[in-house]
Amino acid sequence: MNQKVLITNLSALTAKYGAGGVKKISAAVTALIAADKARGLQTRLIAVDRAADMKTVKGPRVTKAGDPKQHKKAVDAIYNALAPDYLVLLGAPDVLPHQDLRNPVFGGEDVDEFAYGDVPYACAAPYSQEPRDFIGPTRVVGRLPDLTGGTDPAYLVDLLHTAATWKSRPAADYADYFAITAAVWKSSTARSVERLFGNSKSLQLSPPKGPKWTAAQLAPRAHFINCHGVDADPSFYGQTGNNFPQAHFAGHVAGKISEGTVAAVECCYGAELYDPALVGGQAGLCSTYLEHGAYGYLGSSTIAYGPAEGNGAADLLCQYFLRRVKAGASLGRATLEARLEFAGGAAELDPIDLKTLAQFHLLGDPSIHPVIGGGPPVALAVPRGLAGFAKAKQPEIAAAALARSDRRRQLTARGARIGETQSCAVASTTEPGRALSRVLAKMAAAMQITAPQVLSFSIETPGSPLAKTRTARARRVEAAPSAFYVVMGGEPTTPGSTAKTRGSQTARSAVKAAPVVRPFVALVAREVGGQIVSYREMHRR
d(CA 17, CA 231): 26
Q: What would the mean pLDDT of 466-495 be, rounded to a whole number?
A: 61
pLDDT for the residue numbered 493: 55
pLDDT for residue 246 is more than 70: yes
DSSP state of 184: G
pLDDT for residue 389 is more than 50: no
Whether 290 and 323 have beta carbons less than 8 Å apart is answered as no
> Quick one: residue 329, left, alpha or beta (phi over 0 = left, psi -120 to 50 = alpha)?
beta
d(CA 332, CA 321): 9
- The domain locations on the chain are 1-374, 423-540
d(CA 449, CA 442): 10
Chain-wide mean pLDDT for the chain?
89
pLDDT for the residue numbered 403: 83
Phi then psi for residue 44, to 5 deg, are -145, 160
Q: Which of 207, 247, 241 is nearest to 225 (CA)?
A: 247
pLDDT in tens, 342-362: 999 988 999 999 999 999 999
In 375-447, beta strands by DSSP E = 423-428
**Residues 212, 216, 220: CA angle, nearest 5 degrees:** 110
pLDDT for the residue numbered 111: 94
pLDDT for the residue numbered 463: 61
Is the peptide bond prior to 452 cis by the omega test (within 30 degrees of 0)?
no
Phi then psi for residue 460, to 5 deg, are -100, 125
Is the model more confident about 413 or about 500? 413
Q: What is the band of 394 on the pLDDT scale with cuts at 50, 70, 90? A: low
d(CA 378, CA 398): 10
Helix locations, 60-199, DSSP H = 68-82, 154-165, 186-197
Whether 228 and 182 have beta carbons less than 8 Å apart is answered as yes
pLDDT for residue 506 is more than 60: no
pLDDT for residue 131 is more than 70: yes
For residue 17, with 0-12 CB atoms within 10 Å meaning exposed, 13-18 middle and 19 or more buried, which class applies? buried
Whether 423 and 461 have beta carbons less than 8 Å apart is answered as yes
Whether 519 and 228 have beta carbons less than 8 Å apart is answered as yes
Total H helices, total E strands in the chain: 14, 22
Q: What is the band of 464 on the pLDDT scale with cuts at 50, 70, 90? A: very low
Q: How many CB atoms lie within 10 A of CB 410?
A: 10
pLDDT for the residue numbered 530: 87
Percentage of the chain modeled with pLDDT above 70: 88
Q: Which of 146, 251, 237, 298 is nearest to 498 (CA)?
A: 237
For residue 357, with 0-12 CB atoms within 10 Å meaning exposed, 13-18 middle and 19 or more buried, which class applies? buried
Whether 508 and 246 have beta carbons less than 8 Å apart is answered as no
pLDDT for residue 163 is more than 80: yes
d(CA 163, CA 299): 19
Supply the pTM of this predicted model: 0.90
Q: Which of 223-227, 283-287, 373-377, 516-520 has the lowest mean pLDDT?
A: 373-377
Work out whether the CA dihedral 303, 122, 483, 188 comes out positive or negative.
negative
pLDDT for the residue numbered 527: 92
pLDDT for residue 462 is more than 60: yes
Q: How many CB atoms lie within 10 A of CB 277?
A: 16
Q: What is the band of 132 on the pLDDT scale with cuts at 50, 70, 90? A: very high
110 HSE (CA, 13 A, CB side): 31
d(CA 177, CA 116): 29
pLDDT in tens, 85-118: 999 999 999 999 999 999 999 988 999 999 999 9
Cross-strand pairs, 90: 144
Q: What would the mean pLDDT of 52-73 be, rounded to a whole number?
A: 97
pLDDT for the residue numbered 515: 57
